[in-house]
Chains A and B, each alone.
Chain A
Amino acid sequence: MINRLEEWVMAALLAFMTLLTFAQVVMRYVFNTGWVWSLEATTYSFAALVLVGMSYGVRTHTHIAIDLFVKRFPPRLRRLIALAVVVVCLVYAVLMLYGSSELVARLMTLGNAARDISAPKWLLTMTMPIGFVLLAFRFLQAGWQLLRHPDSAGAVGQSHLPNVAMNKEDSEGQS
């Protein structure tokens, strides 16, 4: 359920950003007007898309990593390294979570509203701590998988891009 939800949120945000920017161009050239809030709405949606998508990328193994050297190592060492990688990723997620929560807290004390949208800035920036909580959760999940299934080395990342047309048989129900 949650898995589907992530996909729908991402698809909707991308469609919204694209249509809004397109509409803005049409408005400017055809009707000679525009919405002031449009650019800000687009960039905050963009941020939300990336921040929600980060953890989704962990689950679907779309983040790029260099696995070339590790592949040559003996299996036991590989497993150890894979665990170290997960720990490193967790440290990253937690530090970023801490930094972004601090940022949101600061924006709350300042109490500024966004420039063109009538919403407080801290609310719009909340997507960042939420995104990093989800990311930390997915890394924990990957670590757990690794501990339980000794033969699944390299739980995070892959060495090449997910391909545009070849991913048709989707990557559902991993995790």
Chain B
Amino acid sequence: MTALFLLVSLFTMLFIGVPVAVSLGLASVLTMLFFGDQTLVSSTQKFFHTMQVYPLLAVPFFILAGTFMTTGGVARRMVAFANALVGHFRGGLAMAALLASAFFAAVSGSAPATVVAVGSVMIVGMVSSGYTRNFAAGVICNAGTLGILIPPSLVMVVYGAITESSIGKLFIAGILPGIILTVVMMITVTVIARRQEMPRQERASFRTVVKTFREALWGLMLVLIILGGIYAGIFTPTEAAAVSAVYAFFIAVFVYRDISMNDVPHVLIEAAKITVMLMFIIANAFMFAFLLTTEQIPQMASEFIVGMGLPVWGFLLVLNVLLLLSGNFMEPTSVVLILTPIVFPIAMEMGIDPTHLGVLMIINMQIGLVTPPVGLNLFVTASVAELSLEETIKASFPWLAVLLAVLMLITYVPWISLVVPNLLLN
């Protein structure tokens, strides 16, 4: 009864367009008042306490770092370097766009930000070198999803915080799947490029490679700070995020000089806005998770599912379908926040590794980002590429096959997600 009321009220509110944060919060509070034995005060306390969950402090810091990076010319220099590396292959610019997205994803924790940063530089370049606008948009839209797979990743921070599992471990687990996805997409580009006789550029001289590398190095160093710092145990992920924010400010204002001191307040406000939007959802989701725990709803769901005698592979399949469907209607953080508290205990009962589950959820969310009706990357790509939403959807559609193939691989070969963290962290 309790669970039914909670879910029906939650989905009714979501359906009629109540903001996700308010839907989560009000559904939890009402359920608690009608059926629960906790008080309103303990719910509000949980809300306030969310901002004191130490790992979640990484959220504002990574967003701030990302905003400095997107506004500054970090992406432009990464594109130049990527182009010097792979531009001479057939379809070289498209490959460079993929590589540059992977580089940028390694300093930014957000997928739409990656699309904006790389897309605003790359799409014009690709179109003027003879690629169709649609092809360029398709590549950028999908490559941008690497933003939440390659560390740092905001979605991983949220997943780690709500399941109380190690964010550092999740970050490191995202590296290999990120590389695999990048390589698979590059191979796809090569195949398409051969068939369609796509343009190639002159091979960059070794001096150009070195020169562009040195220019991009300031940005790329951030990867080293974040991953190296966490891996060596120098920083917690939260500290690494704060250091990246200060570092990103420093290179954008003093090294690259793309933004002046006067622009800094604007960047701060922009980052604060996104932080609040995310944290408002997260704080309400923590009340939701608190209610689920006190009412023991996940345990009941878990007993039910385990009682059905579903094999692990079957459960994973059902989970993927559930995540893909939800990803079609909501943005990644909301999906992770709503489904994790319910699904996580079941998965643990079935002996699935929490890190593997995290990576699997992220890849599902990536697919949600590029599928209609609600795919953030589609909206952002459409506006960056100056295409209609319909054309963007059509352009991005063929890439779905690639993403789904990688999803299957990651789902059924846990080794890919676990080998690097097990190697490095034990």
Binding site for B on A (CB under 8 A): 7-8, 10-11, 13-15, 17-19, 21-22, 24-25, 29, 39, 42-43, 46-47, 49-50, 53-54, 56-57, 60, 62-70, 81-82, 84-85, 88-89, 91-92, 95-96, 98-100, 102-103, 106, 125, 128, 154, 156-157, 159-167, 170
Contacts and interface: CB of A to CB of B under 8 A. Distances in A.
B243 A25 contact: yes
Interface residues of B, number: 73
Interface in B250-309: 265-266, 268-277, 279-281, 283
A29 B29 CA distance: 44
B51 A50 contact: yes
Contacts of A53: 272-273, 275-276, 279-280
A89 B329 CA distance: 21
B43 A99 contact: yes
Contact of B280 (A8, A63, A85): A63
B97 interface: no
17 contacts: A10-B269, A13-B272, A18-B61, A21-B238, A21-B239, A25-B239, A25-B242, A47-B48, A50-B276, A50-B280, A53-B276, A53-B280, A64-B281, A64-B334, A82-B17, A160-B379, A160-B380
B401 interface: no
Contacts of A99: 29, 39-41, 43-44
Contact of A14 (B40, B45, B113, B272): B272
A46 B266 CA distance: 19
B44 A103 contact: yes
B276 A54 contact: yes
B60 interface: yes
Contact of A43 (B20, B57, B70, B277): B57
Contact of A164 (B40, B67, B265): B67
Contact of B329 (A68, A106, A154, A161): A68
Given A53-B273, A53-B279, A82-B17, 5 more contacts: A14-B275, A25-B243, A63-B22, A103-B41, A161-B331
A118 B40 CA distance: 28
A56 to B, nearest CB: 7
B52 A161 contact: no
